[in-house]
Chains A and B, each alone.
Chain A
Amino acid sequence: MRRSLLKKMLAFGLTGALTMGMLTGCGGEGADSKASSDSGSGSATEAAADEGGKHLNFGCYVYSTSYDPAEYQNAAWDGTRHGIVECLFKFKDDLTVDYNICDKYEVSDDNKTWTFHIRDGVKFSNGNDCNAQAVADSLNRLYTVCATDKKSSTPETYLEMDSIVADADANTVTIVTKQPYADITSILCFPFYAIIDVEGDTSDAEHDYTADSTSVIGTGPYVIKSMDETTKCSELVKNENYWNGEVPYDSISVIFIEDDSTKASALKTGDIDLTENITTASDLEELSGDDNFYVSKTPGMRSGFAYVNFNGILGKNEALRQAIFKAVDGQTLCDVTVGGMYTYGPAVLPSTLSYDYESLKNDFEYDVEGAKKLLDDAGIKDSDGDGFRELDGEKITLQYITYTNRCLSDFAEAIQISLAEIGIDVNVTNTDSDTEWNMMQAGEYDLCDSNWTTVGTGEPSAFLKNWYGGDKGSEFYVNSQGTNYCWYENDEYDKLYDQYMASTDLDERADLVIKMEQILIDDCAVLVHGYYNSSFLSNASKVTGADIHTVDYYWLSTEIAPK
């Protein structure tokens, strides 16, 4: 009897321990974080708590376990998002460029030689000076390691460098580019070009760059204390050597939360003080209406859209393509289906950017009857009475691939319903982003969802390249020169794009962008869902200044402070 009781108690205890273990796997509070972070001197949270320091629990999606800007794009972004690294320049919310580590610059008449003066007094978080030599070393190291297979970032995509040389006396860095650029200050805002303290001899081919991943030393307001690669949770502490004013928090727990509803619940229960981009419309609406929380929303620079495969049925049949564009009620999709998470527009670039959005004309606005008429006139009819139309005697079934990110799968499902109304069958495959990417590259789709940061470097050339060079053959894609995975071909578009890339006149470039956008609209080349509205949500009684920025890679900053 006693043994049985003992067994029961043991089982009860074990069950309790297991349950607690599961619940606290990636907790935000001090002791929990400590368990999952690296050992040694104890967690930052605990230290901050012991000292009565100011602590922030930030729940967010963590895209990378590395902060090295050379590692790959997500790592570079997380470095700037978490306030660990900074660039020579930074974007303001209107996407004009502001000085940051650089405080003045000069450019030669041929737009190829750029001389940047490094701000005096800037220090890395380890106390080392962030002077011209350090900046040149950091950028040289970026280009050196990214040319090898050790790192995956692609700084060469945006900026082709000839040389990067420091003048220690003048505290300037001179960058010579291979071709003229209209403006490289906006490109240098991109997280690839974040400045880090380079350890060791960067000219040494044997240097172990992998060691730099999580131990990145930057000039941002916060420093990595620990990062658990399994839970993707990290502890940040104040950068005692920060050069640009007071750092408001002594420590920050960055808690990886994948699910949007969990983010909302954690904020409501007080487990986290701040979170980003809740894409569940109902949660966002509820929190917006509650005075205990502060919700900051802004139309960002991210565009949600579906590629149209021009090698498939949609590319080959213009009437079918046009009918599909007419059958989709983009406004309702943005306002109702995704609850205002997107702002509707038919152009590929967000309406908030300075590309004279109002001048664009869309001949394929929502018109179901018009869509049906287009199909009827083109002889695409439902002849067997199954509710779906046939083309050349064969039922049309469009393959639509999507993934669960920023409401994209909701768009896909709603478009499936919309197209059923005009008698077009759609098979939606909701997969993970990697599989979708592979299917997209292989051309195994008719419609393929994506969302892009359209002007990550302040201008849209990388984004607009998605529809460039369709006539250059498969070699073009194989050797990664192109990103045109929808096989769109338009000579006029290609000509304008080449002109855009060659031009250094900012007004002319803006004009060319508008023309390219209009061509894409006229050709029904891309089914634009809308422009994603980024959001930051905070506990109003604990946090102040938690406003989301237009640029997607700015999250934690000194503006966010305890109340």
Chain B
Amino acid sequence: MNNFMKKNKSFLFFCFLVLLVVLVAVFAPFLTGGQDPTEGILANALQKPSGEHWFGTDKMGRDIFARVIYGTRTSLTAALSVVAIIFTVGTVLGILAGYFGGIADAVIMRFSDMMISFPGMVLAIAIAGILGASIQNAVLAVSMVSWTKYARLARSLVLKIRHRDYVAAAVVTGSKTPYILMKYMLPNALPTLVITGATDIGGMMLELAGLSFLGFGAQAPTPEWGLMLNEGRAYMAAAPWLMIFPGLAIFLVVVVFNLFGDSLRDVLDPRDE
């Protein structure tokens, strides 16, 4: 254990930072002193950062500090949901395509090719536009265009071992297909997929914030960073704090998750060293 800690200091450091972000989300009510992020005093609109309102107030007189802190909940939940969905769907479909081949492979992969042929964000905007603007639909939209990466990755990893002798041996000794999939295929694909998933959290967060910024994601008065950036856009010169703090929050959290993903790769896949 000590040896692991010594060898993976950076991983532990980024784990700590990720934990910090999660704790901010969990203890948001405590950190904001019970301030409701959706509650505003209309007469207190656009106040500069002060002792009373650390990050100032927005055009509805809401406390931006509370909104940024609570925004961690929205962004983190949404980004993790996307990653969980695309990880699961992509992995399952990819393993099935790689293992069974034939028609299953052709159908799944051609469908995946079709999704890839569209620019991801544009397709996500179209899907979110059709489904209606909400954070749930944004999660669905981003998931629908992002699962293909995992499917292709899982398929290629499965194909690498599909015709190995030990798999053939398992088949001839009577192992059932679900057992082979769970025992041989999934464990083989999992480390690479986990690394990809961890690295994707930051990117997904950005995509979701982008959709909210464009009006296809979270809707007012939800405290969500992309939406807050959009709300502050019109006041960029007169009240820059409306954009600075949510912008900073996105930047910090995305950097933390990206670096966490990189350090996780170093741990799980030490070949790069």
Interface: A152 (CB within 8 A): no
- Smallest CB gap from A427: residue in B: B219
Bound complex: CA A253 to CA B61 (Å): 40
Contact among B42, B234, B235, B237 with A417 in the assembled complex (CB-CB below 8 Å): B42
Contact among A260, A282, A332, A336 with B238 in the assembled complex (CB-CB below 8 Å): A282
- How many Å from the CB of B76 to the closest CB on chain A? 24
Contact among A260, A414, A429 with B60 in the assembled complex (CB-CB below 8 Å): A414
- Contact across chains for A286 and B237 when beta carbons are under 8 A apart: yes
- Smallest CB gap from B242: residue in A: A282
Bound complex: CA A515 to CA B38 (Å): 40
- Contact across chains for A283 and B43 when beta carbons are under 8 A apart: no
Q: Mark B15-57, 1 if CB is under 8 A from A, else 0.
A: 0000000000000000000000011101101100000000000
- Smallest CB gap from A409: residue in B: B220
- Smallest CB gap from A280: residue in B: B234
Contacts A280-B234, A414-B60, A417-B38 given: A430-B43 contact, CB under 8 Å?
no
- Contact across chains for A332 and B60 when beta carbons are under 8 A apart: no
Contacts A282-B239, A430-B219, A430-B220 given: A414-B234 contact, CB under 8 Å?
no
- Contact across chains for B236 and A420 when beta carbons are under 8 A apart: no
- Contact across chains for B238 and A333 when beta carbons are under 8 A apart: no
Interface: B59 (CB within 8 A): yes
Interface: A261 (CB within 8 A): yes
Which residues A181-230 have CB closer than 8 A to chain B? none
- How many Å from the CB of A269 to the closest CB on chain B? 13
Which residues A218-277 have CB closer than 8 A to chain B? 260-261
In the complex, chain B residues whose CB is within 8 Å of the CB of A103 = none
Interface: B221 (CB within 8 A): yes
- Contact across chains for A332 and B43 when beta carbons are under 8 A apart: yes
- How many Å from the CB of A25 to the closest CB on chain B? 17
Contact among A285, A332, A413 with B221 in the assembled complex (CB-CB below 8 Å): A413
- Contact across chains for A336 and B43 when beta carbons are under 8 A apart: yes
Q: Mark B119-144, 1 if CB is under 8 A from A, else 0.
A: 00000000000000100000000000
Contact among B39, B59, B233 with A410 in the assembled complex (CB-CB below 8 Å): B59
Bound complex: CA A414 to CA B62 (Å): 11
Bound complex: CA A413 to CA B221 (Å): 7
Interface: A416 (CB within 8 A): yes
Bound complex: CA A409 to CA B234 (Å): 14
- Contact across chains for A260 and B234 when beta carbons are under 8 A apart: yes
In the complex, chain A residues whose CB is within 8 Å of the CB of B38 = 417, 420
- Contact across chains for B220 and A261 when beta carbons are under 8 A apart: no
Interface: A66 (CB within 8 A): no
In the complex, chain A residues whose CB is within 8 Å of the CB of B42 = 329, 332-333, 336-337, 414, 417-418
Q: Mark B212-240, 1 if CB is under 8 A from A, else 0.
A: 00010001110000000000011111110
Which residues A273-315 have CB closer than 8 A to chain B? 280, 282-283, 285-286
Interface: A62 (CB within 8 A): no
Interface: A428 (CB within 8 A): yes
Which residues A402-433 have CB closer than 8 A to chain B? 409-410, 413-414, 416-418, 420, 428-430
In the complex, chain B residues whose CB is within 8 Å of the CB of A416 = 220-221
- Smallest CB gap from B235: residue in A: A282
Which residues A80-134 have CB closer than 8 A to chain B? none
In the complex, chain B residues whose CB is within 8 Å of the CB of A329 = 42
- Contact across chains for A280 and B221 when beta carbons are under 8 A apart: no
- Secondary structure of the A side of the interface? helix
In the complex, chain A residues whose CB is within 8 Å of the CB of B46 = 282
- Contact across chains for A337 and B60 when beta carbons are under 8 A apart: yes
In the complex, chain A residues whose CB is within 8 Å of the CB of B219 = 428-430
- Smallest CB gap from B234: residue in A: A280
- Contact across chains for A417 and B40 when beta carbons are under 8 A apart: yes
Bound complex: CA A410 to CA B61 (Å): 12
Q: Mark B68-91, 1 if CB is under 8 A from A, else 0.
A: 000000000000000000000000
Which residues A316-372 have CB closer than 8 A to chain B? 329, 332-333, 336-337
- Smallest CB gap from B134: residue in A: A429
- How many Å from the CB of A532 to the closest CB on chain B? 17
In the complex, chain B residues whose CB is within 8 Å of the CB of A413 = 60, 220-221
In the complex, chain A residues whose CB is within 8 Å of the CB of B40 = 414, 417
Bound complex: CA A283 to CA B236 (Å): 9
In the complex, chain A residues whose CB is within 8 Å of the CB of B239 = 282
In the complex, chain B residues whose CB is within 8 Å of the CB of A283 = 234, 237-238
- Contact across chains for A261 and B236 when beta carbons are under 8 A apart: yes
Bound complex: CA A417 to CA B67 (Å): 14
Bound complex: CA A409 to CA B238 (Å): 20
In the complex, chain B residues whose CB is within 8 Å of the CB of A332 = 42-43
Contacts A332-B42, A413-B221, A414-B42 given: A261-B59 contact, CB under 8 Å?
no
- Smallest CB gap from B239: residue in A: A282
- Contact across chains for A420 and B39 when beta carbons are under 8 A apart: yes
Bound complex: CA A414 to CA B133 (Å): 20
Contacts A337-B42, A430-B220 given: A417-B60 contact, CB under 8 Å?
yes
- Contact across chains for A417 and B221 when beta carbons are under 8 A apart: yes
In the complex, chain A residues whose CB is within 8 Å of the CB of B236 = 261
In the complex, chain A residues whose CB is within 8 Å of the CB of B220 = 409, 413, 416, 428, 430
- Contact across chains for B234 and A282 when beta carbons are under 8 A apart: yes
Bound complex: CA A280 to CA B59 (Å): 11
- Contact across chains for B45 and A337 when beta carbons are under 8 A apart: yes
Contact among B45, B234, B237 with A336 in the assembled complex (CB-CB below 8 Å): B45
Bound complex: CA A261 to CA B231 (Å): 12
- Contact across chains for B234 and A261 when beta carbons are under 8 A apart: yes
- How many Å from the CB of B212 to the closest CB on chain A? 12
Bound complex: CA A333 to CA B61 (Å): 11
Bound complex: CA A203 to CA B273 (Å): 85
Which residues A488-508 have CB closer than 8 A to chain B? none
- Contact across chains for A286 and B238 when beta carbons are under 8 A apart: yes
- Contact across chains for B237 and A282 when beta carbons are under 8 A apart: yes
- How many Å from the CB of B231 to the closest CB on chain A? 9
- How many Å from the CB of B193 to the closest CB on chain A? 33
- How many Å from the CB of A366 to the closest CB on chain B? 11
- Smallest CB gap from B220: residue in A: A413
In the complex, chain A residues whose CB is within 8 Å of the CB of B215 = 430
Bound complex: CA A538 to CA B61 (Å): 31
In the complex, chain B residues whose CB is within 8 Å of the CB of A430 = 133, 215, 219-220
Q: B-side interface residues toward A, CB under 8 Å?
A: 38-40, 42-43, 45-46, 59-62, 133, 215, 219-221, 233-239
Can you list 21 A-B pairs with a CB-CB distance of less than 8 A? A261-B234, A261-B236, A280-B234, A282-B235, A283-B238, A285-B238, A286-B238, A329-B42, A332-B43, A336-B43, A336-B45, A337-B42, A337-B59, A413-B60, A417-B40, A417-B42, A417-B62, A417-B221, A420-B39, A428-B221, A430-B133
List the 4 closest A-B pairs by CB distance, nearest first: A282-B238, A280-B234, A417-B40, A332-B42
Q: A-side interface residues toward B, CB under 8 Å?
A: 260-261, 280, 282-283, 285-286, 329, 332-333, 336-337, 409-410, 413-414, 416-418, 420, 428-430
15 more contacts with CB within 8 A, not counting A283-B234, A414-B42, A428-B221, are A280-B234, A282-B46, A282-B238, A329-B42, A332-B43, A337-B45, A409-B220, A410-B59, A413-B221, A416-B220, A417-B39, A417-B62, A428-B220, A430-B133, A430-B220
